[in-house]
Structure 1
Amino acid sequence: MLSIKNLVVLALMLLSATLSVILRPTISLADERPPIDLAVMVPTTFSEWHEEVNLTAQVVNPQQKIVIDKIYSQTLSRTYVNKQGDRVMLSIAYGKNQSDSLSLHKPEVCYPAQGFQLLHKEIITLKLMGISVNATRIETNLGNRFEPVTYWTIVGDQVVTSSINKKISELRYSIQGRVPDGMLFRISSIDRNSTSAYALQERFAKEIASVIDLKNRARFIGNKNSN
């Protein structure tokens, strides 16, 4: 029997499908804004961090390349290290078209698909450049690799934390005749101590958000949450 949450999601999907026929969004939100170039927009060196070219930790890829190329317009994967030797892995996925069939795939789906166990999940709020960003934390494990993860998802300029939020945000754009783009911003580190890992990831998130050009910042951290 379907839960109330699943029924709501189903109703929203049906409403979205109906509106897509009636309204037929034809304007791509991405085409109205400056083009995305993740490699340029995200600096390789900032604050206490610099990109580690000779990787010692592998960034988990969300899917096989054929799937990545279909769903995402661009992806960026880097490992950053500071003077203390702390390492943080950054993965950003950008999709120009956030239709149901091309939606960004969440880490709690991607990691188990790569063989990881999902140990814990929680929703938290990060304060980034004065914006309250509702983010998700998950603890993952594969053999001796313990990898806590912090991530958030943006549809257009709105941070969304659930399927319902995402669908509501998409409907808002659909009513405007627009097809929204989307971005998934993921930070992780290899650490058995999730408390220290999340503290490091939060510090990294604040520092990288502060160096993203102001004109591009909403694309990375949103300008409001979809509640």
Structure 2
Amino acid sequence: MVFPLKNLLLLSLMVASAALAAAMRPSASLADERPTIDLAAMVPSEFGDWKEQFNVAVQIVDPEQQATIEEIYTQTLTRNYVHADGYRVMLSIAYGKNQSDNLQLHKPEVCYPAQGFKLEKVERVPLNLLDQSISTTRLETHLGQRFEPVTYWTVVGDHITTTGINKKLVEMRYGLSGRVPDGMLVRVSSIDRDSPRAHRIQAEFAAAMVAAIAPENRARFAGVSPTSGVRATTAP
């Protein structure tokens, strides 16, 4: 059987494209080039007017989702903190060593409704960390009489990401250098009917927490440059 020249050319281009894609597929792990993440050690249990509260059970995820969480994330950290004035916040940090297409951070606006919460509001707002602004997402959620405002942000490599397109661009940037980036999602929430108050306190908590993390580790948690200690980077 004789194939037309046009078909042969198309077949050759398809084979060449597949070979090029395979050659350009990132194979090195960015996480392997940097100090190993240890969430429990890197995030202080006490800073400023905040202290970890040990006598409160923390259940932030649905047990039915635990197998999926263990597959996606390399490490997770969940803690309750209480302020000197008695106000409580919940901290949840999820770290994934491999941010490939099939292992992606699960965002709260997906996870909360999956656990039965009603999502009332989603907005992107700036957050000051060490005198620099990063982009975060705020949610208003409730499950029955449990009203839980949420503030969270995601870091891919050393870059704050917001939208899915933004995140993909950052991953492609690392991919062009042959590396698969790691990723982290930092979430702060509180049980509070007063959402403006909750979000304000969550912002204060986040700023105090990041300031208490060792400068050389801040980029992993908040896109803050470890060299200057004050510069936050947001990818285009």
Q: Alpha-carbon deviations, 1:67-120, whole Å to 9, x = none?
A: 111000000000000121100100000000001110010000000111000000
Match of 1:81 in 2: 82
Match of 2:70 in 1: 69
> What's the offset of the Cα at 1:60?
2.0
TM normalised by structure 2 equals 0.85
Provide the aligned C-alpha RMSD in A.
Answer: 1.6
Bigger radius of gyration, 1 or 2? Answer: 2
Match of 2:158 in 1: 157
Q: Alpha-carbon deviations, 1:111-158, whole Å to 9, x = none?
A: 011100000000001110133210000001000000000000000000
Q: Does 1:113 align with 2:134?
A: no
1:1-227 map, 5 Å: 21-55=22-56, 58-61=58-61, 64-223=65-224, 224-227=233-236
CA 1:159–1:19 in 2, change beyond 3 Å: closer, same or farther? farther
Q: Alpha-carbon deviations, 1:10-45, whole Å to 9, x = none?
A: xxxxxxx99753412111000000000000000111
Alignment: residue pair count: 210
Q: Secondary structure at the match of 2:102?
A: helix
Give the Cα separation in 1 of the matches to 2:27 and 2:47. 39
CA 1:172–1:47 in 2, change beyond 3 Å: closer, same or farther? same
Identify unmatched segments of 5+ residues in structure 2.
1-17, 225-232
CA 1:94–1:159 in 2, change beyond 3 Å: closer, same or farther? same
Give the Cα separation in 1 of the matches to 2:84 and 2:215. 27
> What's the offset of the Cα at 1:54?
1.1
TM normalised by structure 1 equals 0.89
Q: Secondary structure at the match of 1:67?
A: helix
Equivalent residue letter for 1:42: V
Contact 1:89/1:189 (CA < 8 Å) preserved in 2? yes
Equivalent residue letter for 1:32: E
Match of 2:229 in 1: none
Give the Cα separation in 1 of the matches to 2:162 and 2:25. 26
| Dislocated runs of 4+, deviation >3 Å | 17-20
Contact 1:59/1:79 (CA < 8 Å) preserved in 2? no
Percent identical among aligned pairs is 56
